[in-house]
Amino acid sequence: MSSVFTASFITLAIAGIADAGYLVWKHYHNSSKPLVCPLDHDCSKVTESKWSTIFWVRNEVLGLLFYVSMLIAGLASFFMPGLILVSVPLILLIKLAAGAGLVFSLFLIWVQIYKIKDYCFYCMLSALITLLLLVNSFFL
């Protein structure tokens, strides 16, 4: 395993935590002020739409849990190489989880384009980070 790719995987996971964490923080602790979008765009139309939750859990919370689990898995793959969880190698689990994350991100992009007809910068950024995590997972 290449530790350079482990470092880049962990870097991406932390970037994802920052992205999703900002959305969670804004929603639960600082919702009186609008999201600061780098594109000067109103993201709240997306983040506060009816599509903002799935199975009663907000998407940004799911994203935060996903990135935290990716961070833990990345660290575990470095410090415990060859770790097997429930008969499945950790590296395979990371690939499957990153793939599932990307499918969910693509679904959310589809929702933004065809249902909400608007976009959220941080959601797009999250999809990009998830794509990079999946690509990176093949080099772990």
Partner 1 sequence: MKQSKLICDYSHLASFMLRTALAVPFLFVAIDATLQPEAWVGFIPFFLRNLFPETLLLGAHAVFDFILAVWLLSGWKIKYAAAFSALNLAAIIIVNLTALDIIFRDVGLLLAAIALGVLQFKK
Closest contact distance (angstroms) between CB of 101 and partner 1 is: 19
Q: Which is nearer to partner 1, 110 or 139 (CB)?
A: 139
Tell me the C-alpha distance between 67 and 129, whole Å: 10
Closest contact distance (angstroms) between CB of 36 and partner 1 is: 7
Asked if 5 and 140 count as a contact pair (C-beta separation under 8 A), the reply is yes
Tell me the C-alpha distance between 97 and 120, whole Å: 23
Q: Which residues bind partner 1 (CB under 8 A)?
A: 3-4, 6-8, 10-11, 14-15, 18, 36-40, 78
Closest contact distance (angstroms) between CB of 121 and partner 1 is: 9
Q: What is the radius of gyration, based on Cα positions, of the chain?
A: 16
Phi and psi at 100, nearest 5°, equal -65, -40
Q: Which is nearer to partner 1, 39 or 100 (CB)?
A: 39
Q: Which is nearer to partner 1, 99 or 125 (CB)?
A: 125
Tell me the C-alpha distance between 61 and 82, whole Å: 30
Q: Which is nearer to partner 1, 23 or 111 (CB)?
A: 23
